[in-house]
């Protein structure tokens, strides 16, 4: 009888252990991505910069605005671009070309437009995404800085995934992390407010 009890307890314990492993595995199967990145800068914005963020994904636009505002960069609402484009006849078929965004930005008084393009693929309940950011000088059209990020594996939280991709692309562009893959960052922390520690970093002079 004692032997049977031990076997029964062992079976229950083993079953619980196996169930726990399954749960842990499922939690780790689609983590927030640690992005693969690239980026560089020629000139970073300063407090004289009046920027417009223009993109095809609202979450990446939101993250970009947050990043710039936390660096005390003036951000002009993109609806002003749409308004100018409509008044000047730039807008066709509900779209505005990058060239016309720059024209509108110049009229508004912006000196830098930050374009962000996110490419998101969905498969059942997970996502694969890449993101490209370019900051263009309004007068010259030259690229002042750029950053890229892509997820090396699928993830389930699209909002958080886009925030992380945007943050890591920006951190690479601004020289706050190395290009490539990294497993730790003091800049891009988990959660929607992914850039809370940015103001604590010493950026130095560029």
Q: For the segment 46-100, what is each residue's pLDDT rounded down to a tens digit? A: 999 999 999 999 999 999 999 999 999 999 999 999 899 888 887 665 678 899 9
- Secondary structure of 144-174 as H, E, C letters: EEEEEEECCCCECCHHHHHHHHHHHHHHHHC
pLDDT at 21 over 50: no
First to last CA, the chain: 77
* Domain boundaries along the sequence of the chain: 30-200
pLDDT at 144 over 90: yes
> Residue 86 has what pLDDT?
85
User: In 3D, which of 27, 60, 87, 13 has the Cα closest to residue 159?
Assistant: 60
Could you tell me the pLDDT band of residue 191, with boundaries at 50, 70 and 90? low
> Residue 4 has what pLDDT?
44
pLDDT at 124 over 50: yes
Residues 46, 72 contacting (CB under 8 angstroms): no
> Residue 91 has what pLDDT?
66
Residue 93 CA to residue 133 CA, distance in Å, equals 24
Helix (H, G, I), strand (E, B) or coil at 177: coil
Q: For the segment 31-49, what is each residue's pLDDT rounded down to a tens digit? A: 565 789 999 999 999 999 9
Superfamily of domain 30-200: ABC-type transport auxiliary lipoprotein component (3.40.50.10610)
- The average pLDDT across 169-192 equals 80
Distances (CA, A) of 156 to 43, 59, 126, 127: 35, 15, 4, 6
């Amino acid at each position: 009888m004692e032997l049977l009890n031990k076997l029964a307890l062992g079976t229950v314990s083993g079953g619980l252990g196996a169930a726990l492993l399954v749960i842990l595995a499922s939690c780790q199967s689609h983590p927030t991505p640690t992005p693969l990145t690239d980026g560089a800068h020629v000139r970073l914005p300063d407090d004289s910069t009046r920027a417009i963020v223009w993109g095809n994904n609202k979450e990446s636009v939101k993250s970009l605005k947050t990043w710039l505002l936390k660096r005390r960069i003036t951000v002009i609402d993109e609806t002003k671009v749409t308004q100018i484009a409509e008044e000047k006849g730039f807008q066709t078929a509900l779209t505005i070309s990058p060239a016309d965004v720059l024209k509108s930005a110049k009229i508004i008084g912006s000196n830098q437009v930050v374009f962000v393009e996110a490419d998101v693929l969905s498969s059942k309940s997970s996502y694969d995404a890449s993101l490209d950011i370019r900051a263009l000088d309004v007068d010259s059209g030259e690229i002042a800085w750029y950053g890229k990020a892509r997820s090396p594996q699928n993830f389930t939280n699209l909002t958080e995934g886009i925030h992380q991709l945007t943050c890591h692309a920006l951190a690479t562009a601004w020289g706050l992390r190395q290009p490539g893959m990294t497993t730790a960052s003091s800049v891009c922390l988990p959660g929607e407010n992914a850039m809370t520690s940015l103001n604590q970093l010493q950026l130095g002079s560029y």
